[in-house]
Structure 1
Amino acid sequence: MHMPAEVATEIDEGGGSRPDVVWIDNGVLRLGFVPALGGRLLSMRLRGQELLWRNASLLDDALHPVGSHVPEPVSGAMSLWNNYGGDKTWPAPQGWSASTEWAGPPDPVLDSGYYDWTVDRTDKSTTVTMTSGHDPRTGLTVTRAFCVTRGQSAYDVHLCAQNTSENNVRWALWNVTQRAGGEPGSGGVDIGIEPGDHRTVELAVGTAAPRVDALGTDRLHVAHQDVVGKVGVPGASGWLAHSAFGTTATQTFTVDPTAEYPDQGSRVEVWMEHPLTHPITHLGGLHPSARIVEIELLGPSTALAPGDRTDYRYRSGVSEGSGDVRAVTSVGHWEGDDRFCSYISGDLVVDGEAVTFARAGDALTIAVVGDVMLRDHTGTDYDVTPARKDTP
């Protein structure tokens, strides 16, 4: 096996009203960040194929403003929000009825404000860290750190919200990733759940909440559908996967069964929208113009005294393939029982024998009769044995 290529960094310096763009590229995965737009990750490309939804009327492929658009902090009604797309972090719960709820987006600090940024490099990885200003409405300063490792079609994220006010506050971290949604029935979101816990919660209903189907005892499926609304999953066990247009993006995370989560206990939420001819009045004039799926992760609601912080970590992996996701590991996921989608390059070893080579970001079909390991270029083995098939 060959040593993976080094992680390259490109700084596209802005000027005038155009903000800086930071690109990180490891030869498999290319990530594009615009820190001045709320610390957003706005491009994620797997060997050139874009995997995030981005508002093409506001930003072009280089993540530069389109036409006369001038990026700037925005506050006010939902109808004024510049939904750039991509991946961002907000505080939860969301709401407009009390100071204990985050009344955004739009939001002039955490959603559309400037984030300071740094790039740190090692021999194996590069980390982009973006930090917001102090938000007087919530009392928080939010930090987002993305670590890209050599040759992987995955990256690791560390989120932090610190109370930089003089008051006690209570918030949860809430990460929102926007991907393009497909036609109804063409794919959707699979969510791992605690065995038998099929609870769902209807949230922020525009036209309707997405329908949720149970897949056996350990998974839920939210198919692509033409609705505008959100569903929460209190029993999420630690992974989700969105499949569309021949690719799948997964997120793995740790849950705390003893903690209290916002939005009636939701650990994961899925928002779907599709084009409408008129704005939705009861959602602040939101006017959907595209099919979008948001995969959303929530941390525990945490009481923060001045100076305290709450942290949340997750890992996102991407690959070709858009089938039925049955299980997700840190180095790849399974579609069905015999199709492995890898996030690192290495040999697939079945019952001690190397049977085939897996390339990061690719999907391959193998016959599985026992334990399966993925062995990387250093000789490190990762257990990727698929879960045995569940029955409805």
Structure 2
Amino acid sequence: MNRAKVVLISCLITLPLLAVAEVKLERVTYHSWPGSYRITNGIVEVIAVPRIGRIMVYRFLNGENVIWENPAWRGKLRSDAPKGVWANFGGDKVWPAPQTEWAKRMGRGWPPDEAFDGGDFSCETLPDGLLLISPVSPHYEARLIRELRLSPDTPRLMIKQRLEKRGPPMTNMIIWSVTQIRSPDLAVMPLNPRSRFPGGFKLLGGGDVEERYRYRSGDLLLIRRHPRKATKVGADSPAGWLASFHGDVLFIQRSNFHPKAKYPDGGCNVEIYTNPDPLKYVELELLSPIHRPKEGESFSFDISWQLYKLPNIPQNDVERVRIVRKITK
């Protein structure tokens, strides 16, 4: 037998033994929400719940969910909320406009738009993920389309987002991704060395707090959840990412920054909110530039998520800063 045939036979024997990475999709009932979907690649899993328009789970297989879920709202729907009360399911969702303009369009400053936040989304399966489509908001005459695509061989989740204007009137709109996460060991926001804000960031709620809950480390703002006080900060960050540490897991969300675009809240494209006890969660928020789409127009704002398994649990913030700098450089 010649050498070429030996090599060919060897290859044919070896190929079936190689693990082929792939994304698997499974329709499940999750916490009494039927029609939910589990997406996994053997490394991480994502669970989306179209009935409430949310991503509710993102974790390593057999690991702890980095997303915060509200046990009081498991299996419930937005319609179960009394009038004027936010259906706080937890999870990840999108808001369609700067909060300063909600009252103008909805006649109220809170709770959020009921189509985007808690609406019953339609969905279509994809080879590597899921397409989620919101109802049309009666306040904005717009709908959201989110395309979730999981990498076949890494923990990376791509989220393509498009807002479609379906009718009048023209109004300021954004794609504002809001992810409620379990209270982290530390949340990190990169700052702009040429920021328009004094100190590199803007206080959006809660005022000043003790240094252990918020302080700078060079061009990074380090944030912890305050147990007795709601706090919120934003920044005009060219880096466009936010991070959180959960034991030996690092969670990073990424987006693109457009320096010439107009952003909400005086120019913020990244924001972090911390909630006081007893609901122990933090929000990582990525914001698109402000758009004024006409009927029939649309705009997009794509983001990505990634989990990193660390070799051990960082013992202090010096270690955490070193790790996040290395990964995001």
Q: Could you tell me the TM-score, scaled by structure 1's length?
A: 0.69
Which structure shows the higher strand fraction? 1
RMSD between aligned residues? 2.8
| Equivalent residue number for residue 294 of structure 1 | 283
Q: Is the 8 A contact 1:191 1:236 kept in 2?
A: no
| Equivalent residue number for residue 159 of structure 2 | 157
Q: Is the 8 A contact 2:23 2:129 kept in 1?
A: no
Show the 5 A alignment for 1:124-203.
126-182=128-184, 187-197=185-195, 198-203=199-204
Cα pair distance change 1:70/1:101, threshold 3 Å: closer
Distance 1:106 1:73 in 2: 15
Cα pair distance change 1:102/1:206, threshold 3 Å: farther
Cα pair distance change 1:260/1:196, threshold 3 Å: closer
Structure 1 unpaired stretches of 5+: 60-64, 276-288, 328-333, 341-385, 388-392
Q: Is 1:44 aligned to 2:58, yes or no?
A: yes
Cα pair distance change 1:138/1:272, threshold 3 Å: same
SS of residue in 2 equivalent to 1:57: helix
Q: Is the 8 A contact 1:232 1:268 kept in 2?
A: yes
Distance 1:113 1:92 in 2: 16
Q: Is 1:266 aligned to 2:280, yes or no?
A: no
Q: Is 1:7 aligned to 2:23, yes or no?
A: yes
SS of residue in 1 equivalent to 2:34: coil
C-alpha deviation, 1:132, in angstroms: 0.8
Distance 2:238 2:246 in 1: 21
Tell me the amino acid that sits aligned with residue 195 of structure 1: P
Distance 1:212 1:18 in 2: 37
Q: Is the 8 A contact 2:192 2:235 kept in 1?
A: no
C-alpha deviation, 1:325, in angstroms: 5.0
Q: Is 1:119 aligned to 2:125, yes or no?
A: yes
SS of residue in 1 equivalent to 2:71: coil
| Equivalent residue number for residue 223 of structure 2 | 222
| Equivalent residue number for residue 40 of structure 2 | 25
Cα pair distance change 1:114/1:100, threshold 3 Å: closer
Tell me the amino acid that sits aligned with residue 222 of structure 1: I
SS of residue in 1 equivalent to 2:96: strand
| Equivalent residue number for residue 252 of structure 1 | 254
| Equivalent residue number for residue 90 of structure 1 | 95
Distance 2:188 2:243 in 1: 5
Identity %: 23
Distance 1:149 1:206 in 2: 40
| Equivalent residue number for residue 99 of structure 1 | 105
| Equivalent residue number for residue 79 of structure 2 | 72
SS of residue in 2 equivalent to 1:170: coil
Deviation per CA, 1:343-384: give whole Å up to 9, x if none.
xxxxxxxxxxxxxxxxxxxxxxxxxxxxxxxxxxxxxxxxxx
Q: Is the 8 A contact 2:78 2:119 kept in 1?
A: no
C-alpha deviation, 1:180, in angstroms: 0.9
C-alpha deviation, 1:44, in angstroms: 1.2
Deviation per CA, 1:111-153: give whole Å up to 9, x if none.
12111101111xxxx1211011111112211111110021211
Aligned residue pair count: 299
Cα pair distance change 1:116/1:103, threshold 3 Å: farther
Cα pair distance change 1:199/1:160, threshold 3 Å: same
| Equivalent residue number for residue 110 of structure 1 | 116
